[in-house]
Structure 1
Amino acid sequence: MTLEEQVLHAWKEWGIRVLVLLSLAIQVLLLVLAEFRRRVDSGVLRAFVWSAYMLADSTAIYVLGHMSVTSRSPEHRLMAFWAPFLLLHLGGQDNITAYSIEDNRLWLRHLQNLVVQVAAAAYVLYVSSMLDSRSLLREATIILFLVGAAKYGERVWALWRADSTPLGNKYMSFESPNRVSFSAEIVGPVHGRGWEASTYIAHLLLDIPRDLMNGPLPQQPRIYFWIFHDEVYRIAERQLSLMHDVLYTKAELQHRWCGICIRVISSLAAIGAFLLFLVVDYHQKESYNKVDVAVTYILLAGALVLETTSLLAGIFSSWTCFLLVKWRFKQGSREVMEHQIEVLPGRRTIWRVVASVYQLIHAGNWRRRYWSGSMGQHNLIQLCARSKTSGISKVATWMGLEDRWNTPFYSWSIPVSSSIRGMVVNQVVVRQSEARSHTVMARTRELYERMGWQAENIKLDESILSWHVATEIYLRWYTERQQETATGSRWEEGHRPLEYRAEVKDLSNYMLFLLATRDYMLSPTASRIAYVEACYALTALEYSSAEELITLLRRWGIA
């Protein structure tokens, strides 16, 4: 037998088994890495998560397509029992349904795959002996099949919901923009500090960032909270984490009554199937292939661990805590009627116990990050200057892929400094004060006039580009004046030293990073087309360094 024939024979004998175990391993990998992805900003980690996400569906679909032939063999009758497990794998893990925003927009494609793969799994069971009334695994097979189809359908539902918003799912009146009706349990100030209060407020206002993803709100809700100054940023962090749950996980559906039922039934089904297979294996040891039996035990154990983990993670999540608080308020609490909401008041023993349990589970949440704690950076001037001297960039330009190469290659991330956090919080506080807002606008108009160019009535993408270039020019000019001061020259009269020079540059780079690589996070009217046109225009100029490019732009501005 030649080497080629040996390889073909080994693949025919072991191919399905290896791929089934690979499908399970990918699900475990996704379950673990998805949580790290939320808090760690690493290109290597993103590459692993993306690879696992792409391989998960293709592996399960490939195995289901070939199982209809292999499972007919008398030696591999047990393979048909693996089909429901593949449906469970196609349902994915609760903490990652989509890798990017674009995956949510492909929910209709996943719906088509759902119909095809459920039909394929049903055909595998039909042509096998698993649905035979004499088979002891019949009930377990049917239950696992139904649970797998339900979890796969839930994933498609989650993708569809992430691609829509509450305002986009129903018609709303635009005649009275200042009138918004809220149920009694969410109106009024929130007393107290700590993890429970910030979580409740973040959940309460979650519809606002969801709808802002698709454009400005037609109605602005009037909800007032008593929030301590040092908690504003933490609440924003919680909302950032919740938006990650909405866009990339099953968190919302997981905590509906249907999601709870699916997880309870799937966990019980995994336990029942494991126990039933123990009985079958004990009484029919010689009926099935030993290797297939071992693979089945691994699949059962894996399903049991994954489903139990999913159930426990859902029970002890912040979403469950929020639902418990809302249910507590719906019981007719006097504090609600008086608009004096206390988060988990604990006046009854059961609520005191619930509060203690969640505080114990989420101990240290103030110290734990809900996101990576970093911000992306992208500098147009540096990109244009470096790409003109980089050999790889020249090759990418020759191949017509300069934008696909330069944009990610010349992007990086930095930790969010405490000063930037303070600036964000102070800006929120300033905007809440009408008098101070008028002062800021007056200073802004004065700055427009001094710079000699108008920034009004321009699109968001053009505004980001204009302010980014203006920031680079001004910081370069400031550096030159600082050097002159060091040599004995004086500052211009009325000029004040720049207090937050590094922070200004970081925020400018961050806004351009959003426009260049994350334009879907900006207003729907924003487009990266202006960024691409600016890159092509600047790279066509004659210069050899970033300083020369800035000097050239300054001359154009003066002219």
Structure 2
Amino acid sequence: MAAAEVLTAAWEEWGLRALVLLSLTVQVTLHILAEFRRHVDSGALRAVVWSAYMAADATAVYVLGHLSVASRSPERELTALWAPFLLLHLGGQDKMTAYAIEDNQLWLRHLQTLVVQVAAAAYVVYGSSAIVGARRLPLLLAATVTMSAVGVVKYGERVWALRRAGTSPTGNYSSDIGKRRFNLAVPDSFISRLDPAETYLLHAHLLLDMAKDRFKGPLPRLYLCGPGSQETQLHGEEELYKVAELQLSLLHDVFYTKAEATHTWCGLCARVLSSLATAAAFVLFNALLLGAHRRKLEGYSRGDVAVTYVLFVGAVVLEAASLVRAVLSSWTCALLVKHGSEGSAVCNSLAPAAVYLRRLVRAAEWRWWRCWSRSMGQLGLVQLCVRSRASRYSRVARWMGVEDWWNTMAYSGPSVPVSPDVRKLLLKSLKARPWDREQFESRGLYGRELGLDWVAESKLEARILVWHVATELYLYWFNKDQLPLPLPAAGAGVADLVEVAQSLSSYMLFLLASRPHMLPPDASRNDYLVVCYALTTHERYSTADDLLSSLQRFADALWANNSAPEYELRCKNTNRRGYKVLRGGCSLAAFLIHHQHQEDSSSSSSSSPAGGTGTLEMICRVWAQMLCCVADECSANSHAKQLSGGGEFLTVVALVAKFMRSKRLSWHLHIESQ
């Protein structure tokens, strides 16, 4: 009983102080971690950031409500000064206004909360005699009013940023890029002095309206600008790809930060004034502590005075960091360049100074290496089925009804970097004409004699599964029978092709299993679940080699007699839907292996040193075209949603495709279609 009384007394004295300091700690945590989520795809990071984001507003609102009671106590009237700081905390950090894309749609709710919490803070301050009452201290009143104004401005800035990110622009939508503004007035002398990273970043800003038109638009007015000289323009799809990567980071700023609200003339002025006002309020509070009014503060709790001082220090540090970040931001530099291209002499003179400051801290390199995760998630169907079947944790998950979630999370392979070979293949596929039915028929991939005619006409999820099974079997055979043989000099890139085919196949299955929202709206995971159930429940195997050998034996039987194979899978009569997909994948794998045999025979008969890489190149090309199709059909909301978790390779491909479809921009970027 005595312990309970001690805890109650301690909470009454320190509970409110601890919660106020917790609110400040949460803001510092968000300030630090918000930068990582743009380029780190980690479940642990997402959990910590989500917890801090949810706790930030809840803690501030809870403490602000309790201050209306606690500040009435004569010895705790100083706590009324905490109310403006809580408004400041509710305004959030510049680097994180929304956790998920759906938060931007709730800007009206935040506007209502702004009105209510400002009224609550005003009530708290008005009820304190130490601030506005008979015993008021002029310096304390000035500091409170100043911080209250800063808090209201910061919270209003957050609501405005949410509104800009959550609403589509209105106007006369025109899809003809020729009717939209394209300005070539950026000074060549300015761009020629930039280092490569700063040059790509500036181009990403100058062409950002194209990206916003794809993921946020359509925009009623597109403002694009660039240099007029060919020497300083972008050249080729490789440089365009680098710009698209940087635009992922800028789009993250558009949807999840205050960047667009802050980096305007009004926003920059508000940032400077709020920083100066916070510093002035801190000076006033120090004058109160050290000046003639110090004795009047002796009647208040030392703990409250110390907490107030910590709140001031935290506010000054965070505001100073925000001001420095705004001044050194590439958004500010791009703002000066854009206005300078319109004829502003002041902006033309300030832009080189901004670039010089950014070069001192290597800001462009920092943004370049942290623009997005630059990786692709991986998931192999065979490995997932083998590991989940042997794992006791999967049995527990099955008993709890979360087997699918557990298997997808636990048995997804580690993400792999986007290799230069994958990038070149995707850029080549975007430039080339997509394969139609005639192209597939000419390569034997649409033959009714193989029973594959339904694959090309089926839904996307079935095509992904069939081609994934076929790729797994083909690479299993190829690695076992082909790679151990000595390769000719011209065939040294075979291992690279194998890696590309494996990574793209596993990436597409990863999207289907883990991120189906990144696929077209009509895509479904049902076929994937059915195939997993067929392999884990009906087939007999203990290792991945056992399962692959069984599937390859079935593929050989189908090639020998497609209508009545000698060897059948056990799931034929118990899981017809899964059997159909597996049969299609094995039939396709048998054709690919036979095609490889023919290619090897023709290469050896003609003494060609190139080896047999045509089949591998065909597989890579099919996966690349499928990925480009998915990137183009993925909804804008899904692309924007994934920006909060490190970005997605699909989004880069969608951006590059958007630029390449514009004839004027393709000409400006010196890209020739094939």
Partner of 1:163: 166
Worse-matched range after superposition: 530-539 or 307-316: 530-539
Partner of 2:474: 477
Contact 1:132/1:138 (8 A) holds in 2: no
Question: What displacement does 1:81 show?
Answer: 0.4
Contact 1:195/1:365 (8 A) holds in 2: yes
Question: What displacement does 1:76 show?
Answer: 0.6
Partner of 1:182: 181
Partner of 1:331: 343
Question: What displacement does 1:234 show?
Answer: 2.4
Q: Which amino acid aligns with 2:341?
A: F
Contact 1:180/1:222 (8 A) holds in 2: no
Partner of 1:279: 287
Partner of 2:246: 238
Q: 1:538 aligns with which of 532, 538, 542?
A: 532
Partner of 1:147: 150
Q: Which amino acid aligns with 1:534?
A: Y
Name the count of aligned residue pairs: 525
Q: Which amino acid aligns with 1:428?
A: L
Worse-matched range after superposition: 436-445 or 531-540: 436-445
The alignment partner of 2:317 has SS state of helix
Per the alignment, do residues 307 and 216 of structure 1 end up closer, same or farther by CA in structure 2, a change over 3 Å counting?
closer
Q: Which amino acid aligns with 2:164?
A: R
TM-score by length of 2: 0.69
Q: 1:507 aligns with which of 504, 508, 511?
A: 504
Partner of 2:433: 437
* Percent of residue pairs bearing the same amino acid type: 44
Question: What displacement does 1:398 show?
Answer: 2.9
Worse-matched range after superposition: 61-70 or 284-293: 284-293
Contact 1:199/1:322 (8 A) holds in 2: no
Q: 1:201 aligns with which of 182, 195, 203?
A: 203
Contact 1:213/1:521 (8 A) holds in 2: no
Question: What displacement does 1:276 show?
Answer: 1.0
Per the alignment, do residues 395 and 482 of structure 1 end up closer, same or farther by CA in structure 2, a change over 3 Å counting?
closer
Q: Which amino acid aligns with 2:528?
A: A
Q: 1:297 aligns with which of 285, 309, 312?
A: 309
Partner of 1:493: none
Contact 1:71/1:128 (8 A) holds in 2: yes
Contact 1:377/1:411 (8 A) holds in 2: yes
Deviations 1:314-361 (A, max 9, x none): 11011111111112111179xxxxxxxxxx9x9x87654444333333
Partner of 2:53: 53
Partner of 1:492: none
Question: What displacement does 1:544 show?
Answer: 4.7
Worse-matched range after superposition: 296-305 or 125-134: 125-134
Question: What displacement does 1:219 show?
Answer: 11
Q: 2:583 aligns with which of 545, 555, 559?
A: 555
Contact 2:161/2:257 (8 A) holds in 1: yes
Return the alpha-carbon distance in structure 2 between the equivalents of residues 332 and 228 of structure 1.
31
Q: Which amino acid aligns with 1:212?
A: R
Q: Which runs of 5+ in 1 are unaligned?
A: 334-343, 489-495
Question: What displacement does 1:191 show?
Answer: 6.8
Return the alpha-carbon distance in structure 2 between the equivalents of residues 71 and 443 of structure 1.
77
Partner of 2:84: 84
Per the alignment, do residues 209 and 13 of structure 1 end up closer, same or farther by CA in structure 2, a change over 3 Å counting?
same
The alignment partner of 1:288 has SS state of coil
Return the alpha-carbon distance in structure 2 between the equivalents of residues 289 and 26 of structure 1.
25
Partner of 2:408: 407
Contact 1:23/1:56 (8 A) holds in 2: yes
Per the alignment, do residues 21 and 351 of structure 1 end up closer, same or farther by CA in structure 2, a change over 3 Å counting?
closer
Q: Which runs of 5+ in 2 are unaligned?
A: 227-232, 486-492, 552-568, 570-580, 588-674
Cα RMSD between the aligned structures?
A: 3.7
Contact 1:519/1:526 (8 A) holds in 2: no
Per the alignment, do residues 244 and 515 of structure 1 end up closer, same or farther by CA in structure 2, a change over 3 Å counting?
farther
Question: What displacement does 1:2 show?
Answer: 1.3
Return the alpha-carbon distance in structure 2 between the equivalents of residues 91 and 220 of structure 1.
31
The alignment partner of 1:237 has SS state of helix
Larger radius of gyration: 2
Question: What displacement does 1:266 show?
Answer: 1.7
Q: Which amino acid aligns with 2:3?
A: L
Per the alignment, do residues 424 and 279 of structure 1 end up closer, same or farther by CA in structure 2, a change over 3 Å counting?
same
Question: What displacement does 1:431 show?
Answer: 3.4
Return the alpha-carbon distance in structure 2 between the equivalents of residues 475 and 306 of structure 1.
52
Per the alignment, do residues 100 and 382 of structure 1 end up closer, same or farther by CA in structure 2, a change over 3 Å counting?
farther
Return the alpha-carbon distance in structure 1 between the equivalents of residues 128 and 304 of structure 2.
15
1:15 aligns with 2:15: yes
The alignment partner of 1:331 has SS state of coil
Contact 1:105/1:163 (8 A) holds in 2: yes
Q: Which amino acid aligns with 2:376?
A: M
Deviations 1:174-211 (A, max 9, x none): 5x645432153579999757233211221123233334
Deviations 1:379-412 (A, max 9, x none): 4444344334433333333333334433333335
